[in-house]
Amino acid sequence: MPENLLKELQPQELRDLFSYLESDKPPMVGK
Amino acid sequence: MDLNVLLSRKGWALSFLQEIDRGKFPPPEVPLDQVRQIGLHQDQQLDKFVRKLWGNIKGATPEEKLAEARRLHNDLRAGIGNPLRGRELFRKNCASCHRLYDEGQSIGPDLTHANRRDRDYLLVSIVDPSAVIRKEYLSYVVQTRDGRMVTGLMVEQTRNSVTILNAKNERVTCHGIRSNQSRSRPRH
């Protein structure tokens, strides 16, 4: 991954990305 | 012209940097990963332009990376994320190299079965992606006899050619390789 990727994200975007990366299964639309 | 192609030859890269120096293109628009690629030509004139336009582009020290990981850890603990929005961010920033849940490219490791519940491991892997790289994911730099530089994963090598998978998941076959000029380097 690009080294500076996380620097370009806002704190909430960082939490959103990690929420997906740490998930057990793909998120369901509408939930 | 694609920026990777533009920077793959010394002469083209120099023309591009001269245009930036004349103010025709803003330096911040060029991703730092690609600015670093210019250094692979090992040319003093190019290096001088890079220093003038972008300053010191060396990567962070281990101490700076550790501090960055701690700062991000605090940001993560400050709230809850939305995985649907996170998926969009993954598609935009990560999926060109990594797979997760059957989407994305396989240039870098598949994250589906990676140790994703270990937040520290995940953070360090992103803040310092070059720290530990499996052999199959080493990036190669290939220089052809006519001066073209191509970087990416080596997917095939014959006596006369090398095929590289570049960051756009395109296979680029280089003929006329200069001897001892394919070398590995950490991916960024």
- Distance between A8 CA and the closest CA of chain B, angstroms: 10
pLDDT band at B169 (very low <50, low <70, confident <90, very high): confident
Q: Tell me the C-alpha distance between B35 and B156, whole Å.
A: 27
pTM here? 0.60
Q: Is the minimum CB–CB distance between B185 and chain A shorter than 8 Å?
A: no
Q: Is the minimum CB–CB distance between A27 and chain B shorter than 8 Å?
A: yes
Say yes or no to pLDDT of B119 above 60. yes
pLDDT, position B186: 47
The sign of the torsion formed by the CA atoms of A31, B98, B186, B50 equals negative
Secondary element (H or E) of residue B103: strand B103-104
Is A15 in contact with B81 (Cβ distance < 8 A)? yes
Is A17 in contact with B93 (Cβ distance < 8 A)? yes
| B80 or B30: which leads in pLDDT | B80
Tell me the range of B56-70, B110-124, B174-188 where mean pLDDT is highest.
Answer: B110-124
CA-based nearest residue in chain A for residue B119: A22
Name the residue among A14, A20, A22 with its Cβ closest to that of B87: A20
Tokens coding B127: 């803040």
pLDDT, position B79: 94
Q: Tell me the C-alpha distance between B181 and B184, whole Å.
A: 10
Is A15 in contact with B75 (Cβ distance < 8 A)? yes
Neighbour-count burial of A21, counting CB atoms closer than 10 A to its CB (0-12 exposed, 13-18 middle, 19+ buried) = buried
Say yes or no to pLDDT of B75 above 90. yes
Q: Which residue has the tokens 């591009």?
A: B16
- Distance between A27 CA and the closest CA of chain B, angstroms: 6
Secondary element (H or E) of residue B88: helix B83-93
